[in-house]
Each structure stands twice: as structure tokens, then as C-alpha cells.
Amino acid sequence: MMKTVFYVTDDSLTSYNDTTNEVLTFLWEDVEAVDQYLSTVSDKSKISIVLDVIDEEITFEWAPAVFPWEKSSIVNRRKERIHGVDIALAEVYWTHAKRQSPDGRKEELMMSATISDSFRLKTFLHSIEEAQLTVSAIYSKPILLEGYLKSKVKTHLKLSRQNLKSPLLMVTRQSHNTFRQTFFYDGDLRISRLVEIDKMCESASEIRSALVHETKLAVTYVYNQAIVPFNSPVGLIFIDGEQDVLEGILEQSKEEALIRSTWEDDEYLFATTAFKTISPNGLHCGTEGVKCFSPQAIIDFIFTDSPKGFYTTPYIQKVSNLSLTRKVLVGLNILLFLGGLYYFLISGINTLVSWQKQELLTDKIVQHEVEIERLEEMVKLQDDAQLIKASVEFSESILQLKVNRLVNFDIEGFSQVVARHPNIQLSDIQWKTLDRFDSQTNEISLSAWVFPFHETYKEPVAMVDAFVADLYTLSGIQSVELQKEPLNRVLSQTLLMDAKMGEVEALPFTIQMRVNDVESK
């Protein structure tokens, strides 16, 4: 089956295939030309899509470590949360990175990726579906570069495991004046961004100077984001399509302090190479007289290695299921053919076997099928029981996480408010979640005393009112209600006092607050 790759950028669509060197490019403004081309693509082609766009946002977040059977449900919920109307594609994955937080909690790193619909990506994907083309994978360019580093670049430069685990910035040439900076930490992708240098830079020296300057900014950004300690060594790999741009870049990097004087030579990796050197026999990079930049190298990488896709859609999932079903049916047909051939051979050899033995064999087959059905029902019941148990344990863990945690509002600010009112003494605090268990609105009830009380209510009332007003300044507060006042404000009733109570030095009151739970999801 012929492989065809659609390379998608913000401006254009470029088509490559693995049988010819023909490359076709269409601007997104020319909608009719794009639709006309899709109608000419053979339905027997295996389509892959590479997304190399500016509006792809990749973020990372540390999340509490969970059991393996809980991960898929967490991924699905987060994916639904980030998949908005203006988002064309969204994915959430658990990475392999793990750590222990300062408070001793085990955490795992989650990666979220979204691509906006700024250039009608949804329409393009829908057009492919209408053309009934077989789409096998949708790739993210930064994720592809991670695979390219660990496969092609690692082999070519003979990188060690330690080299890949150390902080590493790989700069790849996209076009004449465009580069992509991809930063890896602990062997995983962390940052990827497109950089466009001044179009006035024409000579190799001008491009090299601009490239060193932009790379220096990228290393500074990594320091500012506290991904690595300030001034610690960062490995650098430059991959270009023109070897003359790479000549002398090591010396210039040292002169312009991209490589800092405090770095020891054995503490960091520095390497340069060309895409054609990495893949000299590539279909598109191996063509004589044709420049090979990152797009062409990635296309050859897909043709030779067939890496796993990143983004999924219902249509791609459907195509994947059909492909898997086809493979299963082919395997079954082969097994049936071999089984039939074996049966006929045995039948030819055993032509003298009596009918009685054949009837016994038939009875055994029937008993065997009954036993298979019994075992299948038993296994099904066990699977159902395990699924129910996992669901109950997951629900209980979610309830416990939600119910037993503290209300997530400005506790430090609340403490400061109480400290500012020394005449207020808290005696009891209770809170509860309103509506359903995962509601973001909580109710807090405060019981307190105001003192001193010297047979006059004016000062205690003023103290309580000031305390209520101060509570309104806290972030996340919806309402503050003084439910039980230190006295009834109706003057005719405030004068009524129980003489049997004896001396009263403090007055009780009750406050009810509603707060927004702004816990990070």
C-alpha cells in the first residue's frame, strides 16, 4: 500500500509519497485546489498527517500518582476539559517522569497538547473523512522530533543514555529563515517553539549569528522557568540542511557566551550535523541537488520507521479498528485454511476409521464447545466482578479526595484576618460541600465570641461588623452572613437581660460563609 504524508503548516499543505519524488504544495486560501487534490488521492493510500503549526500548545503538570487502571479515566476527563469549541485537536498523556514532591507525595508528569482551529484544521480533517481516505496517524512535529532524536540522531551521533538524560536543546532548521528549538529534560520533551530569524540574513555568517543569539535566549528561558538550575550546563545539538551555517558555530557560541565559561567541557554535549548526513539514503533527503531541512527529514523518518501517531479522532479510531479487524480475519482465514488442510489429510489417511469412532468424535466436539461456553461465561463473570471492584474503588478514592481535603481558599489570608481582630475568639469551624460531591462551592460555619462586654453592646457590635467586613476581602468569598448576632439589634429587646445569668464577659455569635473551591484540576 502506498504511503502518503500530508505536511500541515499554518500557511500551506504539502503532500509527499513513498513511491515518487513528486511534492505538491497548496495554500489554505485555495480551498478548491485542496478539495480537488483530495478527490484525486487514491483510496488505497495510507495517509499520515504531520502538524507543524505555531498554535500547538504543549503543557506539563505534575499529578498525584494513581493506580494503572485509574489513569485512562483521568486522561479522558482532562481531555474533555481542554477540548473547547475553538480547539481542533486535544490529547493528554502520562509521561514516564516521576518524582516525590517536597511534602513526600509521589507524583507523575502529565502532558497536555492542544491545537486551535485558526487555519480551519477541522474543515480539512472533515474533508479527508468525506473523501474516505485511510488515515493511519496524526503526528505532532515536536513529538516526532523527540522520536527522531532517540532513533536517528542518537544512532548517528552515538549518544549515550546519559547524554539523553541530561538537559539537551536540539535546534533544527525548518526553512531558510525558520528554526525549531526543542528542549529535552530527563529524556522527555519539555519545550518546543518555532523561531523565525530576520529575512534580511542571507549569508551563512549572518544566519549563524542570528541562530546563536536565538539559542542563547532559549537557554535563558529554560533557566528562568526553573527547569534546570541557573548557569548549569545544557547540551546543544544543531542540525541543519546547509553545512556552511554550522562551520565555526562552536567558537562563536563560546565567544557570545552561549556556552558559558563556567561549564566544563565534559559536563555538556555539543554536536552539529546535517539532515542528509543522518539519512543519506532517504527518499527526499537523499535526492541530489535538493535541500533537506527538517520537514523532508521527518517525512523520510515516517516512511522508514512508521512511528506511532499522537493525536486521535473518532474517524482515525474507526479506521484503526477496521484495520485491526482485517488483520484478525486474515489470521483466522489462514488458521482455517491450515486446519482444513490438516483435516483433509487426516481424513485421507483415516478412511478406514469406523462410523462409530466418528460419532464419538462428534460427541466430544459438542462437549468441548459446551465447555468453552461455560469457561467463557465464567471468565466474563470474573472480568465483570473485577471491573465493578475497580469502579467502586475509584469512586471511593475520588469521594475521599474531595470530602476529606481542606476547603481550598486563602487559609493564610483568613488567619491574617483573625489576627487583625484580637477581640474575636473562634470556638468552632465547620464546612461542607454544597450540591453534588464535586461541587466547587463550599459552606463554612464559624462560631465565635466577642469580648470584652461591659454591659454595653455598641463596641462588641462594631467589632463583629468590622470582622465580617474584613472577611469579604478574602479571595474566593461568595457571601458572608452573620446568622447569630451577639444581640438582637431591635432596641426594645436588647434592653431585656436575664439577671440570673450573672456576669457576662463575652457574647457569642455565628457567621456563615460561602466560598469558591479554586482547587487546580
3-state SS, one letter per residue, for 140-202 = EHHHHHHHHHHHHHHHHHCCCHHHHHCCEEEEEECCCCEEEEEEEECCEEEEEEEEECCCCCC
DSSP letter, residue 335? H
Residues 6+ apart with CB under 8 A from 49: 5, 6, 8, 128, 135, 137, 138, 139
| C-alpha–C-alpha distance, residues 381 and 398, integer Å | 26
In contact, 446 and 420? CB cutoff 8 Å: no
Q: Are strands 507-516 and 477-484 parallel, antiparallel or unpaired?
A: antiparallel
pTM of the model: 0.61
Distance, CA of 2 to chain centre = 32
What stretch of H or E contains 111?
A: strand 106-116
Q: What is the pLDDT of residue 252?
A: 93
Closest CA to 50 of 111, 108, 136: 136
Q: 259-273: b or e for each residue (b if 16 or more CB lie within 10 Å)?
A: beeeeeeeebbbbbb
**Cell numbers at residue 259, please?**
556556552
C-alpha grid cell for residue 350? 483415516
Q: Quote the CA–CA distance of 290 and 64 in Å, as a whole number.
A: 49
Q: What pLDDT sits at residue 317?
A: 76
> Do residues 471 and 417 lie in contact, with contact meaning Cβ atoms separated by under 8 Å?
yes
Positions of the chain with pLDDT under 50: 401-405, 491-500, 520-521
User: How far is it, in rounded angstroms, from Cα 431 to Cα 421?
Assistant: 22
Residue-wise pLDDT tens digits, 123-135: 899 889 888 888 9
